[in-house]
Structures are given as structure tokens and as C-alpha cells.
């Protein structure tokens, strides 16, 4: 039986093995393990490719959000608006900063419903964190306008959306700060945990860099208390190699998504992803909505196709948020979609034959 993984990291490594192995060996030879030359090099390259003034690397994408909140002085007594369907990092970091997460339901693009944001704003609201989920930008023109109107900070969670664009502007550069995860399975993935923040604001950049490094920019001079969230040299060297390929890989993801959509569009029981006319969707994930989701999922798995669900439970419905005593009927779209969404295998190296195999199985299932 054919076996198709959800993400194939081995094939990508095989394709660039020599370059990666060389980069790792150099870091080992120089024992440049924490911070240092290779981290600085990656930060410079990433900032340049994004056309921003600052890239502050850190330990992972969760820390990137937490550090951004701290750099913006968000904390106790504040409220931060975010989206009901995301990975828990987006909201747990709000709570950890001392602020209260306020959830807004999603729209047909699986992103924050911008029509529902304003009624959640009050005098305590300090920021909005939209998530560019699955690789598709949230409606940034509207969100930015709302932030301006109410004087709110804007942090973009770009963990799933490396080099995605809204109106031809790269996401992460539209708000005050953009946060990234380089978790191995992400569009740009390290070989361990890694993350970064980008910003054009000098003050926020200094504060973020300081907070991520025990509150210090100069050794033993701690202006504030911070945390230990650093990128290591091995990950930085690996990311620098992979950064050269990101445009090519992104185009392959888009091509794969197009083929999926073409082959699935005739199936009545399946809703393929809608792409917003202002968005460049980079397809970190290819998520369909479908009838009898669990049965289809089992059928695909039984035939060697690995799948996933992003996410089985919307954030406000998680046990972790019982304490907020939220009205669970406030998130009808997220609640409705949670039993229909299914993430199909998606990675740049996925072949045409594999996509045909997967979509044929889906066709057979609904026959």
C-alpha cells in the first residue's frame, strides 16, 4: 500500500543534505552554539528578505508572541483580542503576559471575522493578534484600520504564513510586530525549536531583544527582568541554508494546492479552501471541509494517507479557558467547522501522483 506522510521532512533534507551538513559542521568546528555569528547572519538575512529594520531571533514561535506582548508593555488589567481557531500559543501567551485573551469567531477563510472585532473592544483593549491561519493572511486592511481607530497595537502571528502577502505586502510587516515559528514542520523549519520577531520600530526591537535575553543587551547589565529565549547557532545555520529555497518551496505548495482544488472541486461533499482576492496564501496547510469527516479521515488513514485536524477544539471551548466563563455560543462558525475540517498532506515535495492518489480515494469514499 502507498504511504503518504502528512509532512515529509526526510525528502527535503535529502535534497539539500550537502549544504545542511556543511553548515552544521562549520558551527560544530567553531562551537558557535548560542547567539554569535551564525545567529546574527540569519537575523540579517531574514530581515533583508522581509524588507524590515529588525529581526530578533528567539527560542520558538510561542516565545515570539510572549516577547512581543512584553515589549509592548501589555500585562495585568489589559485585554488582547485574538481569534477563536488557532494553536494555543496565540492565547496562552496573552494570559502569561498577565492580560486577558478575548476571542473572536472565524470567517469562511478560517481567519478572524473582522466584522465581529469592534464589539469586543473596550477601554481595557490594548492589542489585536490576528493569526494568518493555514498560510492565508487575515483581512489586514480592515484590522489595521480598527487598530488605528482605537489606538491598539497590532501583533501578527505569522507562524503558519512565511512570506504570505496581503495586498502584495508581506504579512508580519503590516502590524507593529510580526512573530514567526520555525518549528520543523513549518514552511521555513529548523531542526528543532526556533522562532523570531520582525519589526520596523527601533524601541520595540530593543525591548524585545533585551527581554528575550534576561533583560540585558550588555552582559551583566540587566535593565529589566527577562527570560532566556535564544536561537542557537546550529538552528540559525540550518535556517540560513533553507531560507534560500523558501520561494521555490512556497511556489510548490501553491501549485500543489491548485491541483488538490482542481481535482476535488467536482465533489459535492467537499469544500475546498477559499482564497481571499487580496491574499497570497502560502498553504502551510491544505484544509478541506467535508461531510462525514471522521469516517473519511479513517478511510484515508486506512489507505496509507496521514491527515490531521487543525484544530479539533476551538480555543474558547478548551478546558484551559473554563475560567473565563465564556459564552460558547459566541463562536458559531468555529463550532460548526470543527467537525468538518480535515488537513490533507501538504509539503513542497508532494508529487502529482500522490495528490491524484489522495483525491481518488476521496472520490471513491463519497461514491
Ligand X SMILES: Cc1ncc(COP(=O)(O)O)c(C=O)c1O
Nearest approach, Cβ of residue 61 and ligand X (Å):
3
Contact footprint for ligand X (CB under 6 A) = 60-62, 86-87, 89-90, 131, 157, 159-160, 181, 183, 193, 195
Nearest approach, Cβ of residue 136 and ligand X (Å):
12
Specify the residue, 42 or 87, whose C-beta has the smaller distance to ligand X: 87
DSSP letters, 208-229, are HHHHHBTTEEETTEESS---B-
Determine which helix (DSSP H) or strand (DSSP E) holds 293, and give its type and residue range: helix 293-302
Report d(CA 210, CA 71) in Å as an integer: 9
Nearest approach, Cβ of residue 243 and ligand X (Å):
17
Report d(CA 198, CA 242) in Å as an integer: 18
Specify the residue, 64 or 72, whose C-beta has the smaller distance to ligand X: 64
Q: 58: which DSSP letter?
A: E
* CB 221 within 8 Å of CB 7: no
Specify the residue, 90 or 250, whose C-beta has the smaller distance to ligand X: 90
The CA distances from residue 325 to 313, 316, 319, 322, in Å, are 16, 9, 10, 5
Categorise residue 226: left if φ over 0, alpha if ψ from -120 to 50, beta otherwise.
beta
Nearest approach, Cβ of residue 267 and ligand X (Å):
28
Determine which helix (DSSP H) or strand (DSSP E) holds 235, and give its type and residue range: helix 233-243
DSSP letters, 94-159, are HHHHT-EEEEE-B-TTSSB-GGGTGGG--TTEEEEE-B-GGGPPP-HHHHHHHHHHHT-EEEEE-T
Nearest approach, Cβ of residue 81 and ligand X (Å):
15
Specify the residue, 88 or 259, whose C-beta has the smaller distance to ligand X: 88
Specify the residue, 159 or 355, whose C-beta has the smaller distance to ligand X: 159
Specify the residue, 87 or 331, whose C-beta has the smaller distance to ligand X: 87
Which residue number is nearest to ligand X in terms of Cβ? 61
Specify the residue, 195 or 233, whose C-beta has the smaller distance to ligand X: 195
Report d(CA 272, CA 286) in Å as an integer: 9
Nearest approach, Cβ of residue 179 and ligand X (Å):
7
Specify the residue, 140 or 355, whose C-beta has the smaller distance to ligand X: 140
* CB 128 within 8 Å of CB 81: yes
Question: Measured in whole angstroms, how far is the alpha carbon of residue 109 from the centre of its chain?
Answer: 15
Nearest approach, Cβ of residue 72 and ligand X (Å):
17
Nearest approach, Cβ of residue 62 and ligand X (Å):
3
Q: Angle at Cα 184 formed by Cα 182 and Cα 185, nearest 5°?
A: 100
Report d(CA 122, CA 271) in Å as an integer: 36
Work out the number of other CB atoms within 10 angstroms of the CB of residue 16: 15
Specify the residue, 84 or 267, whose C-beta has the smaller distance to ligand X: 84
Nearest approach, Cβ of residue 88 and ligand X (Å):
8
Amino acid at each position: 500500500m502507498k504511504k503518504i506522510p502528512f509532512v515529509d521532512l526526510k525528502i527535503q533534507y535529502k535534497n539539500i543534505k550537502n549544504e545542511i551538513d556543511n553548515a552544521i559542521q562549520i558551527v560544530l568546528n567553531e562551537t558557535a552554539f548560542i547567539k554569535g555569528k551564525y545567529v546574527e547572519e540569519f537575523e540579517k538575512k531574514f530581515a533583508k528578505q522581509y524588507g524590515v529594520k529588525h529581526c530578533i531571533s528567539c527560542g520558538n514561535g510561542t516565545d515570539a508572541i510572549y516577547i512581543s506582548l512584553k515589549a509592548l508593555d501589555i500585562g495585568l488589567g489589559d485585554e488582547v483580542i485574538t481569534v477563536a481557531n488557532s494553536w494555543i500559543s496565540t492565547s496562552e501567551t496573552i494570559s502569561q503576559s498577565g492580560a486577558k485573551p478575548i476571542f473572536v469567531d472565524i470567517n469562511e477563510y478560517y481567519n478572524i471575522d473582522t466584522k465581529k472585532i469592534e464589539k469586543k473592544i473596550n477601554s481595557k483593549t490594548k492589542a489585536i493578534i490576528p493569526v494568518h491561519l493555514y498560510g492565508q493572511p487575515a483581512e489586514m486592511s480592515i484590522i489595521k484600520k480598527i487598530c488605528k481607530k482605537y489606538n491598539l497595537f497590532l501583533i501578527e502571528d505569522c507562524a503558519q504564513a512565511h512570506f504570505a502577502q496581503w495586498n502584495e505586502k508581506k504579512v508580519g510587516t503590516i502590524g507593529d510586530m510580526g512573530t514567526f515559528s520555525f518549528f520543523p514542520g513549518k514552511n521555513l523549519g529548523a531542526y528543532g525549536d526556533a522562532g523570531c520577531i520582525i519589526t520596523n520600530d527601533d524601541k520595540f526591537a530593543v525591548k524585545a531583544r533585551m527581554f528575550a535575553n534576561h533583560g540585558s543587551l550588555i552582559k551583566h547589565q540587566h535593565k529589566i527582568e527577562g527570560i532566556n529565549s535564544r536561537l542557537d547557532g546550529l538552528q540559525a545555520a540550518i535556517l540560513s541554508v533553507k531560507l534560500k529555497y523558501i520561494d521555490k518551496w512556497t511556489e510548490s505548495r501553491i501549485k500543489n494546492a491548485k491541483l488538490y482544488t482542481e481535482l476535488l472541486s467536482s465533489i459535492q461533499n467537499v469544500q475546498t479552501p477559499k482564497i481571499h482576492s487580496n491574499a497570497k496564501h502560502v498553504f502551510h496547510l491544505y484544509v478541506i471541509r467535508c461531510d462525514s469527516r471522521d469516517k473519511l479521515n479513517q478511510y484515508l488513514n486506512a489507505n496509507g494517507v496521514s491527515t490531521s485536524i487543525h484544530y479539533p477544539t476551538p480555543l474558547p471551548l478548551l478546558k484551559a479557558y473554563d475560567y473565563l466563563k465564556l459564552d460558547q455560543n459566541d463562536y458559531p462558525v468555529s463550532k460548526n467547522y470543527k467537525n468538518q475540517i480535515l488537513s490533507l498532506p501538504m509539503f513542497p515535495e508532494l508529487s502529482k501522483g500522490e495528490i491524484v492518489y489522495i483525491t481518488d480515494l476521496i472520490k471513491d469514499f463519497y461514491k
